[in-house]
Amino acid sequence: MAKEGADMTEETEYMINRNVGKEPENVETTSDAKEMRAVILAGFGGLNKLRVTKKPMPELQDGEVKIRVKACGLNFLDLMVRQGTIDNPPKPPVVPGFECSGIIESVAENTAGFEIGDRVMAFVNYNAWAEVVCTPVDFVYKMPDEMTFAEAAAFSLNFVAAYMMLFEVANLREGMSVLVHSAGGGVGQAVAQLCSTVPNVTVFGIASCFKHTAIRDSVTHLFDRNIDYMQEVKKISPEGVDIVLDCLCGENTGKGLTLLKPLGTYILYGASNMVTGETKSFFSFAKSWWQVEKVNPIKLYEENKVIAGFSLLNLLFKHGKSSLVKSVMDKLLCLYDQKKIKPVVDSLWALEEVKEAMQRIHDRGNIGKLILDVEKAPTPLMASDSTETSEAGEEEEEPEGDNDSKERMPFIH
Amino acid sequence: MAKEGADMTEETEYMINRNVGKEPENVETTSDAKEMRAVILAGFGGLNKLRVTKKPMPELQDGEVKIRVKACGLNFLDLMVRQGTIDNPPKPPVVPGFECSGIIESVAENTAGFEIGDRVMAFVNYNAWAEVVCTPVDFVYKMPDEMTFAEAAAFSLNFVAAYMMLFEVANLREGMSVLVHSAGGGVGQAVAQLCSTVPNVTVFGIASCFKHTAIRDSVTHLFDRNIDYMQEVKKISPEGVDIVLDCLCGENTGKGLTLLKPLGTYILYGASNMVTGETKSFFSFAKSWWQVEKVNPIKLYEENKVIAGFSLLNLLFKHGKSSLVKSVMDKLLCLYDQKKIKPVVDSLWALEEVKEAMQRIHDRGNIGKLILDVEKAPTPLMASDSTETSEAGEEEEEPEGDNDSKERMPFIH
């Protein structure tokens, strides 16, 4: 894919300019088409760096299947990719997105077990937010018959991450307690459901107040993210908790470690606190990195504590653990068949609505997963609507040449 | 015990002086005796701070049993206690020692399940190196009939620590690999034996060259502690290892983390690198603490790695996990009954030989566990023998008033 990205640079930039303001329905979507619609990240920065454009169809490589995409998952990590605040970011332009669901349209050699017409969900190392995706069968899983494409796109990353953290990294057992940040998010809801498959597990969830009514039943104790959650947890459980799952980082790392019982495990699986405004400079990323509280191993020794990091995408695409992930997916699909778990979908968005979707996840407005529904037509917006909402403390964005009103054209019909 | 220590200060110091040079056989050992022999640490520092002296019999408290001690375990941690290089050290004079075996001589209220005459092994929060020990039944375990007292004193701390690190903190499973430092020591040998109870586990052991013949069969691959073990491990297993068990700390923490496979676990369970010479100032302790490489949680996230600390004594005496330890001991005694594990005893020493024993562990001369055999008479030494052996790089010891030839009197008969 790096090769494709390199070859594509000039052509894609040409298309970005050519396609600004075009209607998506002009794009062909039959199997014979040479081009497909895709979300393109033209460079790192704000929402204005995202467009829907035409792109040549990807070509099958040995061991890959070609998937006609129905739905894609949107994760907080996609915001960080957009801002370039990840380790070793790809060279733009790039098609973002790490997971999708759809129907297999063709198969290459060495794809035993998969056939044209199979309904599948898949991980992709970028390029998921497109009408057609090619990915190695190592990252492809057949969907249960009763699972919808939206559910499937909401399933893979969140449930695999939640399961592996609870049962592979930590060792969740009967009677334990779990603290989870962003309890209303996709991973948070997966964690809550998986905890309920183990007897007598106490879940402390932290979420914005306006989500509490919707998610109250999914956790044992629910706290507002703006209060001193350490004090609240200690009131209920003075000795602390067994497992802390943190996607925020920053000061929550020290707090999480402090809240651990002896032999407890703190797992960092994201760093969404690094994203404060719509854009983020490399300097502020570096600052965040260095400001994270480092951990003294001797302190862990004295306190009998465990600190872990978990990145499912690195595990899959850098660390070669696809077989392990496949075995975890098998267990998860059993739990799904037994109706013990079910992905929570927050909302469906057209590809052309990716900016609004991203803003919603940035504002932490979602309960469960945001899905890009490839076949959905964009919802008409009022001309006065703006995708450029902001929050307190947002950083000033540098003025950019292409940040003009044309940017919003695809969203207004 | 803190109370007792405080009350005892003057009396003990009087006894230390009174007893220098006395023969241990002058001390009464019947149940009616008001006094007992014990090793006393008069203050933090070198070997000269240790003496055998008389001490009043400990008194039973509710929930405790009184044990007529037969054997005590000597651990590297006892050296660090002697030097005061531990967190929150006790106020000397203090009787060192954390584990012993023996026969129950009397029981207090609330000690159901234990009777006079029971052969037991026990953890003690200091005070183990004495003829009689009182400790709560939470820390007492019945010995199998065929287990000797020396074996029992070599069993508790090493096997419980090894088991909990491998199976509670990490999650050792079939086909995994384990790197263990000090493979010839008590914990190292316990780790090797426990690994052999799981199919297809590869053990990389690191030990001084002169131990290799003795311990070669206990591990899969054995490396000299003076070579670049990272390179050697990578030659055999380029992807690294699943579990690293480190009792050294210092630069080995960074090396251990680097050697981990994704989802691998590094466990720090000691910091023997903090001990270089016979004595250690507080300043050099503080320096060691700060020089330990701190770990960035975001790096753990990117690399999918786990770092843990494990201190069995803190778990027992500070963190209230005696029930968990008891359940672990039950599993270990099953494995002992099945002849799958057996403690390795390096050597037996009289209480009066505690300095030589400590020097041997300091010089890393032991293979398996050093035992203080309470009923053993000291081995006669040649007048020219010295307990003050040293190693290259040892720090200069400050001259002290009581560091004269009388110090060695109890060792020469």
Helices (H), A69-196: 76-83, 149-163, 186-195
Measured between CB atoms, does A169 come within 8 Å of chain B? Answer: yes
Binary contact (B309, A300; C-beta < 8 A): yes
Q: Mark residue A168 as left, alpha or beta (left: phi above 0; alpha: psi -120 to 50; beta: remaining).
A: alpha
Residue B176 CA to residue B263 CA, distance in Å, equals 12
User: For residue B136, is the peptide bond before it cis, meaning its omega torsion is within 30 degrees of 0?
Assistant: no
Query: Is pLDDT at A377 greater than 80 in this prediction?
Result: yes
Cα B307 from Cα B260, distance rounded (Å): 10
Is the CB of B304 less than 8 angstroms away from the CB of A298?
A: no
pTM: 0.85
**Contact (Cβ atoms closer than 8 angstroms) between residue A178 and residue A201:** yes
As a 3-state breakdown, chain B gives helix, strand, coil percent values, each rounded to 5, of: 35, 25, 40
B142, β-bridge pairs: B120
A369 vs B: CB within 8 A: no
pLDDT band, very low/low/confident/very high, at A87 (cuts 50, 70, 90): confident
Q: Distance of CA B233 to CAs B177, B241, B395, Å? A: 11, 8, 32
Please name the member of B270, B297, B304 whose beta carbon is closest to the beta carbon of A295.
Answer: B297
| Chain B residues within an 8 Å CB radius of A294 | 294-297
Tokens coding B238: 């380029």
DSSP string for B224-241: ETTS-HHHHHHHH-TT-E
Residue of A nearest to B266 (CA): A306
Q: Which of residues 236-275 of B touch A (CB under 8 A)?
A: 249, 253, 262-263, 265, 268-271
Cα–Cα distances (Å) from B111 to B60, B64, B100, B316, in that order, read 11, 6, 18, 18
In this structure, which topology does domain A156-343 adopt according to CATH?
A: Rossmann fold (3.40.50)
Rounded CA separation A139/A329 (Å): 10
CB distance B204 to B225 below 8 Å: no
Top-confidence residue, A215 or A284: A215
* Measured CA distances, B389 to A1, A159, B361, B378, B386 (Å): 64, 59, 12, 18, 7
Backbone φ and ψ of B369, nearest 5°: -95, 140
Distance CA B117, CA B342 (A): 24
Q: Measured at the alpha carbon of residue B153, what is the angle toward residues B77 and B407, in degrees to the nearest 5?
A: 55
Q: Is B21 on the interface with A (CB under 8 A)?
A: no
Rounded to a whole number of angstroms, the distance from the CA of A266 to the nearest CA of chain B is: 10
Amino acid residing at B305: K
Antiparallel, parallel or unpaired: β B306-309 and A306-309? antiparallel
Residues of A in contact with B308 (CB under 8 A): 300, 305-307
Position A86 confidence tier, pLDDT thresholds 50, 70, 90: confident
pLDDT in tens, A28-48: 444 567 899 999 999 999 999
What residues pair up with A66 in beta bridges, in sequence order? A106, A134
Residue B62 neighbours by CB under 8 Å, 6+ apart: B108, B109, B110
Q: Contacts of residue B296 in chain A, CB cutoff 8 Å?
A: 289, 292, 294-295
Interface of A with B in 284-303 (CB under 8 A): 289, 292-303
Considering only CB atoms, B304 lies closest to which of A271, A303, A314, namely A314
CB contact under 8 A, A271 and B310: no
Q: Kindly determine whether residue A304 and residue B302, on different chains, have CB atoms separated by under 8 Å.
A: no
Q: B323 in contact with A at a CB cutoff of 8 Å?
A: no
Smallest Cβ distance to B302: which of A87, A300, A305?
A87
What is the C-alpha separation between B30 and A187, in angstroms, rounded?
A: 66
In this predicted structure, which of A110-114, A163-167, A387-391 has the lowest mean pLDDT? Answer: A387-391
Determine what percent of chain A is predicted with pLDDT higher than 90: 71
Q: For A306, which of B269, B301, B306 is closest by C-beta distance?
A: B306
Find the closest chain A residue to B173 by CA distance: A168
Q: Are strands B64-74 and B369-373 parallel, antiparallel or unpaired?
A: antiparallel
Strands A369-373, A64-74: pairing is antiparallel
pLDDT for residue B406:
34
Q: For chain B, what is the total number of helices (H) and then of strands (E)?
A: 12, 15
Largest CA distance in chain B: 65
Q: Tokens 């039943």 correspond to what residue? A: A217
Which one, of A293, A321, A160, lies nearest residue B264 by Cα? A321
Q: How many other CB atoms are there within 10 angstroms of residue B198's CB atom?
A: 15
Quote the mean pLDDT of chain A.
Answer: 85
Q: Give pLDDT, residue B364.
A: 87
Q: Do A302 and B310 touch (CB under 8 A)?
A: no
The three-state secondary structure class of B39 is: strand
Q: Check CB contact under 8 Å for B319 and A262.
A: yes
- Which residues of A fall within a CB distance of 8 Å from B168? 171, 263
CATH number assigned to the domain with residue range A35-150, chosen from the 4 options 3.40.250.10, 3.40.1170.10, 1.10.20.10, 3.90.180.10: 3.90.180.10
Residue B254's closest chain A neighbor by CA? A297
Q: B40 pairs with which residues across the strands?
A: B51
Complex ipTM over 0.95: no
Q: What is the mean pLDDT of residues A328-345?
A: 97
- A307 vs B301: CB contact, 8 Å cut-off? no
Asked if residue A124 lies in contact with residue A99, where contact means CB atoms within 8 angstroms, the answer is yes
Q: Find which of A80, A304, A327 to mutate to test the B interface (most B CBs within 10 Å of its CB).
A: A304
Work out the angle between the directed axes of helices B251-259 and B229-236 (0-180°, nearest 10).
Answer: 10
- With 90 as the cut, is the pLDDT of residue A162 above it? yes
User: Bridge partners of A308?
Assistant: A267, B306
What's the distance, CA B103 to chain centroid? Answer: 21
Using an 8 Å Cβ cutoff, are A176 and A264 in contact?
A: no
Task: Please report residues of A whose CB lies closer than 8 A to that of B305.
Answer: 308-309
DSSP string, A204-255: EEEE-GGGHHHHGGGSSEEEETTS-HHHHHHHH-TT-EEEEEESS-THHHHH
Give pLDDT, residue B392: 35
Burial class (CB in 10 A: 0-12, 13-18, 19+), B59: exposed
CA–CA separation, B361 and B212 (whole Å): 17
Token pair of B217 as six digits: 């069969």
Please answer whether residues A297 and A338 qualify as being in contact, where contact means their C-beta atoms are separated by less than 8 angstroms: no
Instruction: Give the best residue of B291, B306, B316, B325 to mutate against chain A (max A CB count within 10 A).
Output: B306
Domain boundaries defined on chain B = 35-150, 156-343
Closest CB from A249, A269, A304 relative to B310: A304
Under DSSP, the state recorded for A168 is I
Among A301, A303, A318, A327, pick the best mutation site for testing chain B contact (most B Cβ within 10 A).
A301
- The mean pLDDT of A218-233, rounded to a whole number, is 94
- What letter would DSSP give residue A394? P
pLDDT (average), residues A163-177:
97
The CA distances from residue A106 to A34, B123, B305, in Å, are 15, 66, 37
Tell me which chain A residue has its CA closest to the CA of residue B263. A169
Task: Give me B229's structure tokens.
Answer: 């073990």
Q: How many CB atoms neighbour CB A225 within 10 A? A: 17
Average pLDDT over residues A132-143: 98
Q: Which residues of chain B have pLDDT under 50?
A: 1-30, 383-413
| A411: nearest Cα among A349, A348, A367 | A349
